[in-house]
Amino acid sequence: MTLNELTGRTTDHLIFEENTNRYFHKDIYQDYLRLKSEALQQGIELYVLSSFRSFENQLTIWNKKARGERTLLDDDGNALRYADMSPNEVLFSILRWSALPGASRHHWGTDIDFVDKKTWPEGYDVQLIPSEFNEGGHFSKFRNWFDHSIDNNNGFGFFRPYQRDLQGVAPEMWHLSHKDISAKLLSAYSMDLFRAHLQALDPSQIELHSEIVNNQEEIYNRFVINIS
């Protein structure tokens, strides 16, 4: 894998699915189709909210949150008051729910955010917060089905990288990752490559640049390689 592939700056390693208008890593696509088919047999229609996400797309999300233009969340998915936070507090609150541009697993095309289209209420704006997937939430059926599939069918080749709270990325029951291919990519994404990525960033392009650089080792250890 090249640094461009690891950091979301190319689609050379991906295939495009026209009916979902989404990109997927070429080596996970058949397992992704099987996952959807198995879910459908249980009355769950998996809808892809996000798969591959480019560096530029992740940068837009990051900068809007860093400027307070998008809501920052606490550990339970509740809104924080941006005006009361220091730059470092903003940095780490973003990282709990959104990856640093160039360090997102979505750059690889191996990771997918799913909801169940059959239980998605008409007109409802999905937020991807824990309450939507907990018991009584709109997508609890999908969560429970995948819990069962992990126990009985090895997740059909997928797992939740943020299954538990390891004090890095907050638990995300909607986020599934292809085990084998993502493991190879994570192994390739060393601290040296992460450092090279940061050195290549234009400070004027990304918000909180100095805070990112000053905390780069903690970011890598807590939010890049720290998975369930």
Q: pTM to 2 decimals?
A: 0.96
CATH number at 41 reads 3.30.1380.10
* pLDDT(77) > 90: no
Rounded (5°) CA angle 5-8-10? 60
Q: What is the pLDDT of residue 3?
A: 95
Q: What is the pLDDT of residue 75?
A: 87
Tally of domains in the chain: 1
Q: For 31-42, write each residue's pLDDT tens digit.
A: 999 999 999 999
**CA–CA dist 209, 119 (Å, integer):** 40
Residue 89, token pair as written in the block? 């507090």
**CA–CA dist 57, 179 (Å, integer):** 24
Mean pLDDT along residues 17-43: 97
Domain that residue 190 falls in: 3-224
Instruction: Fill in the DSSP letter of residue 218.
Output: H
